[in-house]
Amino acid sequence: MKKVRLWLLVFLCMMAVFQVLLTEELLESAHRRNCFSYETAFRNLRNHNLTKDQVNTFFNNAGSDMEGFCELLTMYFASDCQMTDPKLLKKQVAYAKKYRGNEFTEINGYVKSVWSDLLCFPVGKIAGKPEDNVVFENSWMQSRTFGGDRGHEGTDIMASENVRGIYPVYSMTDGVVENIGWLRLGGYRIGIRSPSGAYFYYAHLAEYAKDFQIGETVSAGTFLGFMGDTGYSDVEGTTGNFAVHLHMGIYLNDKDGTEFSVNSYPMLSYLWERQGGALR
């Protein structure tokens, strides 16, 4: 009888260990399946549905470390913008790196390209008019009709004084001039490729600060020109088709070299708040 009881006890212990191991394996399997959704992360990377409070929370939790901030943001996007607790996000980052390393690294690379080089809000004070300001809102993918129905791929920074050629425009990042000149939609524009790979697009300028050349290096804060109302025409120099503003767009290239746009509003809001919510 004692031997039977002993074997029964051993059997029960083995069953308990097996149950624990099975539970752990099921949990690990669930983490492998669900820890990171590339499609969800990519969609939310483009939409960048992110409040200034969330930006501050992620930055503070990352100790103002850009690498850590971008990892939290990548995981936030992969959670369909539902998971906001930095502690939980960090746990999910570890699982994503372990089980979906390539996919996580790709999306995280895009996030770093967008955020890593931001230094300067792109519009400055008007000389002699400190009371004048600008306003902007999240207009990502709002309807536009000129040239056919399309979504708005950027943010419009609107002038409180609707006068072209008085608001200075500055580069948000260091970088290299990649495009300059007239576009049918964008009017006089300049496109700058930042060191981390994002393309920053400044459109509807009234005039350029100088004769910029493709391949020329610029620094964050470089004076690019003045805010205007050029564009919406094949005729170079056309003005007056809309109010004076700066259209600010951000673009990336995927692993196949295909360009896609990213909502620039959270980055502009971050820079605006960082300088106290006023022009400088």
Contact yes or no for 116/69 (Cβ under 8 A):
no
Residue with tokens 């992110």: 50
Four-residue CA torsion sign, 57, 61, 65, 68: negative
- Residue 280 to residue 223: CA distance in whole angstroms: 13
> What is the number of domains present in the chain?
3
Residue 125 lies in a domain: no
Q: What is the CATH number of the domain that holds 176?
A: 2.70.70.10
13 and 46 in a single domain? The answer is no
pLDDT of amino acid 128 = 82
For the chain, give the number of residues.
Answer: 280
pLDDT of amino acid 26 = 40
Task: Concatenate the DSSP letters of all residues of 110-137 into one string.
Answer: HHHHHHTT----SB-PBTTBTT--EE--
96 and 158 in a single domain? The answer is no
156 and 217 in a single domain? The answer is yes
pLDDT in tens, 195-228: 999 999 999 999 999 999 999 999 999 999 999 9
Contact yes or no for 213/122 (Cβ under 8 A):
no
150 and 234 in a single domain? The answer is yes
- Residue 180 to residue 193: CA distance in whole angstroms: 12
Give the pair of three-digit tokens for residue 257: 């070299």
pLDDT of amino acid 248 = 98
pLDDT of amino acid 224 = 99
- Residue 20 pLDDT more than 70? no
Find the domain containing 149 and state its range: 134-274
Task: Concatenate the DSSP letters of all residues of 137-206 into one string.
Answer: ---TT-EE-TTSSEE--SEEEEESS--TT-SEEE-SS-EEEEEEEEETTTEEEEEEE-TTS-EEEEEEEE
Residue 123 lies in a domain: no
- Residue 236 to residue 244: CA distance in whole angstroms: 17
- Residue 190 to residue 216: CA distance in whole angstroms: 12
- Residue 25 pLDDT more than 80? no
- Residue 24 pLDDT more than 60? no
3-class secondary-structure state, position 89: helix
27 and 42 in a single domain? The answer is no
Q: Provide the β-strand partners of residue 227.
A: 205
Model pTM score? 0.87
Task: Concatenate the DSSP letters of all residues of 190-252 into one string.
Answer: EEEE-TTS-EEEEEEEEEESS---TT-EE-TT-EEEEEB-B-SSSSTT-B-SS-SEEEEEEEE
pLDDT interval class at 186 (50, 70, 90): very high
141 and 236 in a single domain? The answer is yes
Contact yes or no for 263/138 (Cβ under 8 A):
yes
pLDDT above 90 covers what percent of the chain?
A: 76
- Residue 9 pLDDT more than 80? no
41 and 18 in a single domain? The answer is no
pLDDT of amino acid 146 = 76
pLDDT in tens, 65-92: 999 999 999 999 999 999 999 999 999 9
> How many alpha carbons lie under 13 Å from residue 34 in its C-beta half-sphere?
9
pLDDT interval class at 193 (50, 70, 90): very high
The last residue of one of the domains, among 61, 80, 115, is 115
